[in-house]
Amino acid sequence: MSVWDGFKDAALGRSLVERIAERLDALGATERQPVRLMEVCGGHTHSIFRYGLATVLPPALEFLHGPGCPVCVLPMGRIDDCVAIAEDPRVIFTTFGDAMRVPGSRKSLMQAKADGADIRMVYSPLDALALARRNPDREVVFFGLGFETTMPSTALTVLRAEAEGIANFSLFSQHVTIIPTLKAVLDTPGLTVDGFIGPGHVSMVIGLRPYRFIAETYRKPFVVAGFEPVDVLQSVWMLLGRIAEGRPVIENQYGRVVPEDGNQRARAAMDAVFEERERCEWRGLGSIDRSGVRIRDRYARFDAERRFSVGGAVVADPQACQCGEVLTGTLKPWQCRLFGNGCSPETPVGALMVSSEGACAAWYQYGGARRGAA
């Protein structure tokens, strides 16, 4: 029996569901006036639907699906820039698979590949660097995508490219940061959220201290959680306890992975290579100040934006697409006018339908828990 089996233990899960129900009753929560918890990370959204947690928990608890899926918040303008670089015949463009189907205003990377662009899926930026070594006559561009979870590996790859003197490798950075994003969500007019299930993998890098403002300024409890069903249930139980006590604190359910101060070596690599952008565009959320990073001047030769003179285009989402309302918890995925009606995982209009971590894709794949009741 694996140690991980305990985090999927059915008996323990049922016990937690019962204890969660007791705490909801004690709080006086009802289906009409539920406790509303936002899971920040798309990995938690996927787990909630994959394991049917939303169907076994009382209707007095409502999950809101936050903006922690990096593919889901990719703006159209950045995809257009990627396509423009990839269509340069000198370029081998590399990316993670989830980004291939995100729609741009003209086409996706998948469509650009079908049209003849040399676009290749990789599992890490080091795969892209290996391609650059093997193809010294081509420009190899890596699409750096993700929150602080993936940012250290990208930074370390840039440092490796510099150490080896590899001149035909560059990075197109769409790395974003979680703290300004959470502030933007918390400042959303009309949003009611009682607590947060915090992102486990991001927190593994940045630690717990950066989240303190959520408790101190916004008076909301925040529990960093793992991704197995018992992890999620325990984090919900912990949050309900803090809500009942009126005690907004930052807690760590995922202590087996997340240290208090994060990963100092990873943070040092990020700080060496990247600096804050003044503003960053997000699909569905608009521009958020200081929520993304760019390559520092010292490593400008590895910056694909400078090398290929792209970047900065802002393209509005399709008018009918309601990704922004879903990302800020003001709309359920199935309430979007396009959900299953022209927008599906096979033919996505919004990026939330692309990644398996996207709220719309999760609702579509797993049947949309409580859709009829809602």
What does the pLDDT read at residue 73? 82
Task: Say if residue 373's pLDDT is above 50.
Answer: no
Distances (CA, A) of 81 to 75, 105, 132, 141: 10, 10, 21, 12
Task: Say if residue 369's pLDDT is above 50.
Answer: no
Residue with tokens 């990627």: 82
Q: Among residues 198, 254, 210, which one has the least CA distance to residue 228?
A: 254
What does the pLDDT read at residue 1? 41
Distances (CA, A) of 163 to 136, 158, 159, 171, 198: 16, 9, 6, 16, 36
What does the pLDDT read at residue 371? 45
Mean pLDDT for the stretch of residues 226-253: 97
Tens digits of per-residue pLDDT, 42-99? 899 989 988 999 889 999 999 998 888 888 888 889 999 999 999 999 999 999 998 9
Q: Which of 49-63, 122-136, 334-348 has the lowest mean pLDDT?
A: 334-348
**CB-CB contact of 144 with 154 (8 Å):** yes
Tens digits of per-residue pLDDT, 197-238? 999 999 999 999 999 999 999 999 999 999 999 999 999 999
Task: Say if residue 372's pLDDT is above 60.
Answer: no
Centroid of chain to Cα 347? 21
Average pLDDT, the chain: 90
**Spelled out in words, what is the top-level CATH class assigned to the domain 36-55+64-374?**
alpha beta
Write down the domain spans for the chain: 36-55+64-374
What whole-number distance in Å separates Cα of residue 296 and Cα of residue 290? 15
Task: Say if residue 316's pLDDT is above 80.
Answer: no
Record the tokens describing residue 78, joined without a space: 């950045």
Record the tokens describing residue 102, joined without a space: 């995100």
Residue 243: φ, ψ to 5°: -65, -45
What whole-number distance in Å separates Cα of residue 291 and Cα of residue 173? 13
**CB-CB contact of 54 with 20 (8 Å):** no
Tens digits of per-residue pLDDT, 262-300? 999 999 999 999 999 998 888 777 889 999 999 999 999
Task: Say if residue 5's pLDDT is above 70.
Answer: no
CA–CA–CA angle 99, 102, 106 (5° rounding): 125
Q: Classify the C-alpha dihedral 301-120-77-181 as positive or negative.
A: negative
Tens digits of per-residue pLDDT, 82-94? 999 999 999 999 9
What does the pLDDT read at residue 236? 98
Task: Say if residue 370's pLDDT is above 80.
Answer: no
